[in-house]
Amino acid sequence: MDLRWLFVCTFLLVSLKELKAETPQQWIDIANAELQRALNNERIVKRPKNVVLFLGDGMGVATLTAARIYKGQMGGANGEETSLTFEKFPNLGLSKTYNDNAQIPDSAGTATAYLCGQKAALGVIGVNSNATFGDCASATGNHITSILEWAQQAGKVTGIVTTTTITHATPAAAYAHTPSRDWESYVEGTDEDRKMCKDIARQLVEDLPGQNIRVIFGGGRQGFVPNNETDPAFGSRGARKDGRNLLRLKGLDVSNTDFVLGLFGPSHLAYDLLRERDGPKQPTLKEMTTKAIDILQKDPNGFFLLVEGGKIDHAHHAGQARLALHDTVAFDAAIEAAVAMLPADDTLFVVTADHSHTIGMGGYPSRGNGILKGPEGVRAKDGLPYLTLSYANGPGASQSGSRRDLTDSKTEENEFLQEALVPLSVETHGGEDVAIYAKGPFAHLFHTLHEQHYIAVAMDYAACYRSNTPDHCRSPAPTSSGNDTREATTAASRATSFSAAATLIIVACFCLAMLK
């Protein structure tokens, strides 16, 4: 065996990893496919039968970029060329996420904005900006309704799907009114406060529009069971301090036997990557979403559905980037399934986030480098390696003033704690704009930088829930076929993969022949 050929083959195989798989012509073909998709995109100006709002909690732009790379690398690709399903939607805008009284928002005030059409204060749900956080009296007379309620009043059936508790900030803003997002199962304060204000779980079961929600899937059973009772489904105690068993109350309501309330965990559901480990077995977001659509689409009048990927946010707060990216990919799978189930010209799909997080991407890793790793062979000025993904603050920061040595760390482990700069027990939200993706009738209304509360107003205008004044609400408009050129892009990707595979085979065969 000639050692010179061994050196050449080793060099070729290592270099191949660094080569971009696309040829110059393939880059041209990819750009032309995108151009054709843009040229073929036509506005669909008609009232949508269905509206589906997908909310990725904490799903900022950096999360999207990292998640698409992670998704591609899960399938053996470089990752950078991959797209999430909704990133191919034809219309795109940005949302300004600040709360009425806060530069960087929380999920309660933002949910009130994009579901109720008004900016609100940090921590409040379903009340306007006159209400003060934690002040029960301030909420009186300041309740505002949500698009879910507008849809019900227009004769639509409605549903909520979430991976958090169903009384958490995002789903609660669809049906509840409270000056504190923390009052999921109990109103903290005086007896007078508890007379004036109901906890969120009670509002869901006892009040409108909660009573009329056709499908509810998520977690949070303990918020409906007294703290002196054991939930037979999970063997855990409830959280309610008022002695009420709202699940039993719900079961006694014969008029609602056609409605489905599925609570698949005592609190929030498990991270998608850890569902098997953290049993008992829970449904995926995709499974809950498709089942909800199966039920809702039986109604001939159409529906409004809110779907939240809530664990993206929880993973970021914990500084665990892999869990956040994996839940983003699971969120994307639910969207892909929903799009496949519903007619493109009859359903308005909107995908957005409530806020961002402080995660960022940095350094100069080579293309295809593992998104959960760092640039290979590169050290910082302190002599230590660093990662592509890190947080501006959070539990991954060093308390000693010097960084952790990650030399032997398994950075791709499920619950690896990502590096952070400022030491905090919990990572915070980020304040930058988030993306809005839209597809279907009136998707073109999302086209620029918008105030976040515009989202509810635009969906309402398209669906004619509160008004029949616009022309499309009084008479049907012609639909557009909206030809999709995803096949062209897919073909280019196939050619890219084939080219890379063919090159690898040629080099391998050449090396084998020389080494004999």
Long-range CB pairs of 198-201, under 8 A, 24+ apart, other chains included: 199/167, 199/223, 199/242, 200/125, 200/167, 200/172, 200/176, 201/167, 201/240, 201/246
Q: How far apart are CA 413 and CA 321, in angstroms?
A: 10
What pairs with residue 422 in β-bridges? 393
Contact 409, 376 (CB under 8 A): no
Q: In degrees, to the nearest 5, what angle opens at C-alpha 357 toward C-alphas 352 and 359?
A: 120
User: Is 95 marked active-site?
Assistant: no
| C-alpha–C-alpha distance, residues 153 and 360, integer Å | 43
Annotated binding-site residues for Zn(2+) read: 57, 313, 317, 354-355, 429
In the set 107, 180, 356, 390, the catalytic residue is 107
Residue list, annotated binding site: 57, 168, 170, 308, 313, 317, 354-355, 429
CB burial of residue 9 (10 Å; 0-12, 13-18, 19+): middle
End-to-end distance of the chain based on CA atoms, in angstroms?
7
Asked if 457 and 102 count as a contact pair (C-beta separation under 8 A), the reply is no
Q: Which of 59, 106, 133, 43 is nearest to 462 (CA)?
A: 43
Q: Regarding beta strands 91-96 and 449-451, do their DSSP bridges make them parallel or antiparallel, or are they unpaired? A: parallel
The amino acid present at 356, given as its one-letter code, is S
What is the rounded CA–CA span in Å between residue 478 and residue 345? 10
- Beta strand ranges found along 186-284 (DSSP E): 215-219, 230-231, 236-237, 260-263
Asked if the peptide bond before residue 283 counts as cis, ω within 30 degrees of 0, the response is no
Tokens of 468: 């029949």
Tell me the angle at which helices 61-74 and 321-341 cross, rounded to the nearest 10 degrees: 80
Which parts are annotated binding residues for Mg(2+)?
57, 168, 170, 308
Counting every residue, how long is the chain?
Answer: 516
Q: Residue 77's CB: how many other CB atoms inside 10 A? A: 18
Q: How far apart are CA 55 and CA 289, in angstroms?
A: 13
- Residues forming the active site: 107
